[in-house]
Every structure is written in structure tokens, then in C-alpha cells.
Amino acid sequence: MSKRKKEIIRVAIGAALFVAAVITDALASPALEPLQSALPYPFIMLAIFLVPYLVLGYPVLAKAARNIKAGHIFDENFLMCVATIGALCLAEFPEAVAVMLFYQIGDLFEDYAVNKSRDSISEMMDICPEQAFIERDGEIESVNPDEVEVGTVIVVRPGERVPLDGIIVEGETELDTAALTGESFPRNVFTGDTIASGSINLSSTIYVKTTKEFDDSTVSRILELVEDAASEKAPMENFITRFARYYTPIVCLLALVIAIVPPFFTNFEWTDWIQRALVFLVVSCPCALVISVPLSFFGGIGGASKKGILIKGSNYLEALSKVKTILFDKTGTITKGTFSVSRISPVGISSEELLRIAAMAEAYSNHPIALSIRKEHEAPLDLDLVSETTEIAGQGIRCIIDGQVVLAGNARLMEANGIDAAMNDTKTTVLHVAVDEVYRGSIEVEDTIKDDSVSALQRIKELGVQRTVILTGDREEVAAHIAKVAGLDEYHAGLLPEGKIDFLRSYLEAAKNGEKVAFVGDGINDAPALIRSDVGIAMGAMGSDAAIEAADVVFMDDKLSRLADGVNISRKTVRIVYQNIIFALGVKLLVLVLAAFGLANMWEAIFADVGVSVIAILNAMRTLKVK
């Protein structure tokens, strides 16, 4: 039997005994009369009510004793013990047991809510496959995914999870990627397509050549991010923790003052003021805040994970809610990042030769432009002729091909080497090529805006983001065109990685009143900006490992619409946190004042403590619901 079921049974037994004791007290059963000659009636009822009190309150009493022994005196367990033992001493037996009963019911609600939030994140943990299958000598053999080396061909049959990232070398099928991206519709994949571990194969057997070891695969990265998510607390959570640390001893001192000081100056009896002090203690318990605030953030992270948005901690969730300026990389973020060659303009050589030289120069690059050029060339390349390849950040590539120095990159690369390049008046991205300091022409490649970029940016604006900016190393004409079509407020083109940092720094310095600046990117060169921004956001499907590692928030697909979802979830979470804080403090303050003036009894105190806690917990659970 689970611990949770045992707790429910214990509380149910305690509640039944409590009801029986209340009925006995109400009826004053004649069966008790023989005992009254030996014991006063209050002692008889104390014995009867003490049974449910101990059944319900034993965990609280034991925990308070352990904490006192460890030197941690002032907490909600201490408050409950002092208040209920005091109530028993004042012969308020039903009230004392009721405090423990409803406190335990509140605990059960808390456990349920926490488990519900944890389950939403634990669903992500189920994506980890325990085995991979390899075909050997005509038989399918099961192996541990940790033991599979890069380049191994694995078999994924219908209904199985893909254990490792790879490329389909044979077969086609439908993949369920909901656990990774939050996308409910299956995705069709074919031979040559890249697929991520954690996806479920729905229809046909496929053969996949692995491209990463298990520790570096998508599923491992997700699990690592999820496990780390709860370790970073939001500023609001830290505030509530500090608040409770000082608040609890202060209210204990005030309760002591209420119990001791007034009787010296008034004609009231001691029991009246002690009763007020006990009511004051029950009301002052900070459970509603201590429980609901972290639970809200935990639920927000769980709700975001359902949409394929991994947030690495509550602090980043809170920061995301305050974002007013968002800076974007262009390629792979606003645009699809899948370039196609649209025009070849040779100078002194044939188009085929210019394309061959460019393809050989870009042979070792994973940049989308390089991939598009190699795809356009199609014919096999003799890479033995290529040597001394050097990538120049923000400019291009320098290498030696068959003894000739080749430069392939943007206009800045040509200008830096004193080569006159033909300036194309076009909205496409241009790759210039020079051989032995002689300009040999240009290749224009064209990228397209993602299908959801325009609508996503519009939604971001509707959510109150005041400024959207594109930072790119591409040409002015290209940046201006993309910014206009996508609906961005500003653009800055021709930037080296350090140039992006300079602009980011200027926006950070201009931010006022706690407003945050976010940066969205996917490449290795975006990592510095992702780290330095208030909230770094990486595209997880096409994003580099460096970008994902540097980011605070990761989208497990490349849909920009996830950004609006993330901002919406973060603001909803913070809004619920504020609701709980205002509601809990408001009700408690009101009843505390009433208790001090003797206008609130123990039952009203129970509502102000447990009732408020339950309402706050139920409100916090709304963060799990994501439309």
C-alpha cells in the first residue's frame, strides 16, 4: 500500500473517531454517568477526544519535536501544537481535534496538488527508452542505449520509442513527437530525415543510423533540463521563504503578548486572553503562502512542458513574465533556416566550377547556407584536395583547395582581404567566392520566413511585449525585408557575434522598472547573447548543443509560436501567485485583528488557516491547465 493511501486511511479513521466523540459529547450519553463519580466530566471527554487527536495529530507533534530538537522551532508544526494543546487545556476539545483534522486534510490537498504537478513533468521522464534494437545475422537483438556507438544502424519498430538521435537510412513512417514538442499531430518522416530520440514510431519499421551517443541525445538533454528545473527558485519564492522565517516567530511573540499583557490592565479573565492568543496562532500559520507559491511555479513549469517548452527554473519563469523587449537571431529563428540556391553569378569561370569551389570550401560546415550549396552541387566532392579550413566568425571560410587559397563568405570577408566584390541589389543572402585573391563570382541563396513567425510576433505584441528586434550578420537589404514581412519593430544587420552582444547590452541598460530583455537564437554564435540576456531562449530541434546549454528556456520544436505560449504561461503563473498572496494575507490579517479583539473563535481560525490554504492550492493548480 502506498504512503499516500495509508495517510488517507489514517485521516479517515481519525475523522470517524472525531465524529463519534462529537456525537458522544452532544448527547452526553448516560453511559458516562457511572464514570463521573470517579472522574469529572471534562476529563472523560478529554480522554475520548484525545484518541482522534493523537491519531490525526501524531505526525505534526512528532515533526514539531524533531524540529525543536534540531533547533528549528518556529514553523507551522510548532504553531499547530501550541494552539491545539492550549485548546485542550481550556477544554475546547472539539476545536483542538478539528484544527488537526483540517490541517491534515489540507496536507492531503497539498500532496495531491504536488503529485499532480509532478506527474505533468514526470510524463517527460517516460520518454526515456530502456533499450535499443540492432539487427545482427538476421535477428533483432536488444541492447542498452548507452552501449550504442555513433554510426550504428538501429531498428525501430511500430509502437517503439526512438532510443537515439539519428538519420533514417531505410523506411518511412509517422512519428508521434507530442512528448518532445507538445504537437498532437503525427509527423511524416522519410529516408534521409533526421529524427529525435523520445519520439514514438507509429506505423512502419524504420532503420536509423545514430548520430549521437545516448548521453548527448535529445531525450537525455530533456531529462537533464527537467531534473534541473526545480533547483532554481524564483525571487518571489525566495521572498516568501525569508518572509515565513521572520513572520512565524513574530506572530508567536504577538500571541504571547496577547495572552499575558492585557490581563494585567483589564478585568478579563486569563482564559479569555489565552483563548484569543491560541486563535491568533492558528490563524497566523503561513501554510497558504509557503505551499501555494512554489506549487504555482512548479505547476507553471509542468504546464509549459506540455507545450514542448522546457524552462530551467522558477526564476526564469518569473523573468519571462516581465519581458518587454525580445531580440531575435534571423536564420533558424524567424526564418526556416533551409536555404536554396536561387542564382549563380560566375566571373571568369563557369557556373558549375564556381558551385564546385563553393561546395568544397563549405564541405566541413553545418551552416544552413553551406548545406544548401552542397545540396545544389549534388556531384561527389574530392575532399582530399581541401586543407587548412578556417572559419572566420561573422564572415565566412578560408581554405586551400588544390593548392589555391579560396575565400567563401560575405562582403566583409572580401573587403577584409582587399577584394572587390560585385554588390548585388537583392533581398537574398549572397555568398562571394575568391580564388588566389581574384574575385570569381557570387551565389545567392534564399531563406523563407517560418509559417508561424508572423502570427507569433503578432501574438507577442498582443501580450504586451513592447519591442521586437532582429539582430543578424546578414546584409542590410535582407534584414530589412525580413523585418518588414515578419512585423518586427527594428533590425540591425551586418553584425559579428560581438556586435550582437553590444546591441544586447544597450537594450539591457535601457530596460526600466524591472523589465526584462530576452534573446532568441539557435546557433553556436548565439550562445554568448543567450547567456548575457535576462532570458535566453533556444530553438531545441535545430538548435546547436551550445545554444541549448546556454539558454534558460528551450523550445523542443522550431515553432516561434512557442514563445507566445511561454510568455502567456509565465504571466498566468505569476498572476496566480499574486492572487494567492493577496488573498491569503488579506483573510489572515482580517481574522488576526478579529482574534485579537475576541471577535473570532477557533472555527473561524480554522477556515482562515486550512480553508485559505486549500483555496490557494486549488488556485495554484490552475497553472497546470494550458489552452
Active-site positions read: 329
Backbone angles phi, psi at 450, to 5 degrees: -60, 150
Residue whose cell numbers read 553584425: 495
Distance CA 264, CA 261 (A): 6
List, as own/partner pairs, every contact residues 62-70 make where C-beta atoms lie below 8 angstroms and the sequence separation is at least 24, other chains included: none
User: Which residues, 6+ apart, have CB-to-CB distance to 527 below 8 Å?
Assistant: 544, 546, 547, 549, 550
80 and 285 Cβ atoms separated by less than 8 Å: yes
Distance CA 238, CA 459 (A): 31
- Set of cell numbers at residue 141: 537483438
Q: Which of 573, 537, 519 is nearest to 296 (CA)?
A: 573
DSSP class per residue in 293-348 = HHHHHHHHHHHHHHTTEEES-HHHHHHHHTEEEEEE-IIIIIB----EEEEEEESS
* Strands of the sheet with 490-492, listed across from one edge: 309-311, 553-555, 535-539, 516-521, 323-328, 467-471, 490-492
- Return the bridge partners of 391, or none: 397
- Return the bridge partners of 133, or none: 142, 155
Distance CA 102, CA 79 (A): 14
Burial status of residue 71 (CB atoms within 10 A of its CB: 0-12, 13-18, 19 or more): exposed
Q: How many CB atoms lie within 10 A of CB 349?
A: 15
- Set of cell numbers at residue 105: 486534510
Distance CA 515, CA 61 (A): 45
β-pairing, 166-170 vs 206-210, is antiparallel
SS3 of 118-170: the string is HHHHHHHHCCCCCCEEEEECCEEEEECHHHCCCCCEEEECCCCECCCCEEEEE
